[in-house]
Amino acid sequence: MFSSSSYQKQFPPLEKHTDPQTKVTTKPFVHSPITPNGHLEEPKPFEAVLNWQTQNARAQNSAFRSLDEKLEKVASQVKQTDIKVDKITTQLEQMYFDMQNRVFQLDSDLRSMIKNRYWGPEFRQLKAELARIWYQSPTHKWYHFIILSNII
């Protein structure tokens, strides 16, 4: 977003200012002088326009500063959210990788037991663990659980 120094360059304060190169002093707001009878003198048309432009610039400047503050807050929150999402994504990817490795290991162990014609309690335990992991995964909703279902 905007840093305060660049913001001050883009939107300088509305006060008396002397240009360093031309040495011309400008004053954005023209005050109405007091007449000899004590009343304020009506501003000339160009002074009224300048005063209106000054008030308008102040209002815009205030609005821009408010918007800039809000944008800074939103950007900060988005950055924090991105960091959290990245962390959760990394954790989920690791969990998926671990679960996938466990499924491959269980499948390998079960195939080895089948090849050796071993149907003992370890076989049933591994088969139950594989089924438990399968039903925890979202893929069991779309595919049929066939692994070793016809055995025994």
pLDDT at 71: 96
pLDDT at 18: 66
Q: Is 47 a residue whose pLDDT tops 70?
A: yes
User: Is residue 55 within 8 Å of 47, Cβ to Cβ?
Assistant: no
What are the residue boundaries of the structural domains of the chain, listed by start?
Answer: 4-13+40-141
Nearest of 65, 56, 61 to residue 29 by alpha carbon = 56
pLDDT in tens, 83-114: 999 999 999 899 888 888 887 888 888 788 77
> How many Cα atoms occupy the beta-carbon half-sphere of 3 within 13 Å?
2
Please state, in angstroms and rounded to a whole number, the distance separating the CA atoms of residues 31 and 27.
10
pLDDT at 145: 47
Q: Which residue has the higher pLDDT, 14 or 81?
A: 81
Nearest of 137, 134, 138 to residue 146 by alpha carbon = 134
Please state, in angstroms and rounded to a whole number, the distance separating the CA atoms of residues 110 and 104.
10
Q: What are the C-alpha distances in Å from 127 to residues 95, 119, 133? A: 21, 11, 10
pLDDT at 147: 46
pLDDT in tens, 106-149: 888 878 877 878 778 888 888 888 778 777 766 655 444 444 44
Please state, in angstroms and rounded to a whole number, the distance separating the CA atoms of residues 60 and 55.
9
Average pLDDT, the chain: 76
pLDDT at 144: 47
Runs of H (alpha helix) within 15-120: 45-115
pLDDT over 70 percentage in the chain: 70
> 141 — alpha (psi -120 to 50), left (phi > 0) or beta?
alpha
pLDDT in tens, 25-44: 556 666 677 778 877 778 78
Q: Which residue has the higher pLDDT, 134 or 74?
A: 74
Q: Is 69 a residue whose pLDDT tops 60?
A: yes
3-class secondary structure per residue, 2-33: CCHHHHHHHCCCCCCEECCCCCCEECCCCCCC
pLDDT at 150: 46
